[in-house]
Amino acid sequence: MLNQVLAFLERRGEFFYISVFMLLIFFIFLISWLIEPRRLINGVLFTIFLVSMLLWITVMVHKSTSHGLQRAYDLLVLAALFGIVLLLIFAWIFLFWNAYFVWKYESHTLPNLLTLITGFFALIISIIVILGPGKYLPRWLSILLALIPTVAIYLGLVLYNFLLNLLLYQIYPRTYHQDYLIVLGAGLINGDQVSKLLAARINRAIQYSNRQYQKGRKRPILIMSGGQGPDEKIPEALAMARFAQQRGIPAEQILLEDQSKNTYQNMLFSKRVATEDFGNSHFKARFFSNNYHIFRAGLLARDVGLKANGVGAYTRLYYLPNAIIREFAGVFVMHKRRHFVIMGVIALFFILQTILTITGLGRFNII
C-alpha cells in the first residue's frame, strides 16, 4: 500500500511539492521568529515544518533501493511512536517523582505542588484511556465521559506549543549593543537577602554586561526591578543593587525600580525608568529572569510596549517541571478567552451527542 502511494506521489511530482512546501514553511517560520519570537504561532509554524520534514525524509528513504534501510526506518518510526504513547500514558510517574523532590527541597506552598496536582490528573486520564470504562457504561454516559480525554488532548497540544515556544525563545540570537539590562526581582530571604534564584538572574545580567564591554561597546545600565513585599524589610530592587555592587558594578551603573509587585509591573515601571533616563523610548534593552520565566515575561513586555527580549538564567533541574507548569498556567490565563471558547465548543459537541443518544436520535450521531 505504501509503495503504491509513493509511486503515485512520484508520478504526480508531489515529492517536489513537498520539498518546496518544507522550505517555504521553514522560511516563513524563520522570518516570523526573528521578527517577533514571542508569537505563539511560531510554535505552530515550526511544528508544520517538522512534520513536512519528516514526510520528506520518509519519501526519500522509501525511494531508495535499500530494503534494509526502509525496514530499519519503519521500525525506528514505530519505536518512536510507541515511546511517545508510553510517555504520555505514564507521564504521571515522572510528575510524582518530581513532586517528591520539590516537596523535599522547596517550601510547601501551593505553586510548588503543581507537579503533584498535575500528576493526579494525568493518572486519572491514564486510567480512563487504559481501562476504557466507557464500554461498561450506557452509551450516552460513555460519550459524555469521552469529553475528559478530549479536553486533555487539547490542553496537551496547547502545552506542547508553549514548551516549543519556550525552547525556541531560549536560543533567540543575542545582540550585545543594549542600553539597559532589566533584572526582574524575586522574593528575598529573611526580608533583605538575595536568594540563589535571584542571584542567578543578577549574575547573568552582569555576565552579559561584561561580554558587551569586551566587544568594545559601552556598558549598559542595569535596572533592578522589584518592589517591597509585605514580608520584606527593604525593596527587592535595593537588595539586588547591593548584591550587584558587591560584584563590582558601580552604583552609577545601576537604576532602581522599586514599586512593582508583579512581572507586568516590572515591565511597565522599568520601561518608564529607562525612558526617563534615556530621554525617549527608543532605547535598546534586554530583561533577565530564570530560563523558565522569560517567555511569559516577554509576552508581558510586549503587552506594555517594551521592545525587549529575555535572557534566561540557570535553574535547578528538579525545579523546572513545577516552574514550567506554573508558567504555562500563566500564559493559558493570558489567553483564557480563546481557550475557553474552544473547550466550550468541544464540550457542546459532546453534550449534543449525548442528547441525541438519550433522545433516540443516535443514528444522526457523528461519533
220-229 residue pLDDT tens:
999 999 999 8
If we measure between CA atoms, which residue out of 1, 17, 11 comes closest to residue 52? 17
Question: How far from chain centre, in Å, is Cα 154?
Answer: 15
pLDDT at position 318, please? Answer: 83
pTM: 0.85
Q: What's the CATH number for 170-330? A: 3.40.50.620
8 Å CB contact between 347 and 143: no
8 Å CB contact between 46 and 164: yes
Render each residue's pLDDT in the chain as its tens digit; 367 residues: 556 555 655 555 666 788 889 999 999 999 999 999 999 999 999 999 999 999 888 888 877 777 788 888 889 889 988 888 888 778 888 888 888 888 877 766 777 788 888 888 888 888 877 777 667 778 878 888 888 889 989 999 999 999 999 999 999 988 899 999 999 998 888 888 999 889 999 999 999 999 999 998 999 999 999 999 888 899 999 999 999 999 989 999 999 999 999 999 999 999 999 999 999 989 999 999 999 999 999 999 999 999 999 999 988 888 888 889 999 999 999 999 999 999 999 999 999 988 888 887 655 455 5
- For the chain, the structural domain boundaries read 2-89, 91-169+336-364, 170-330
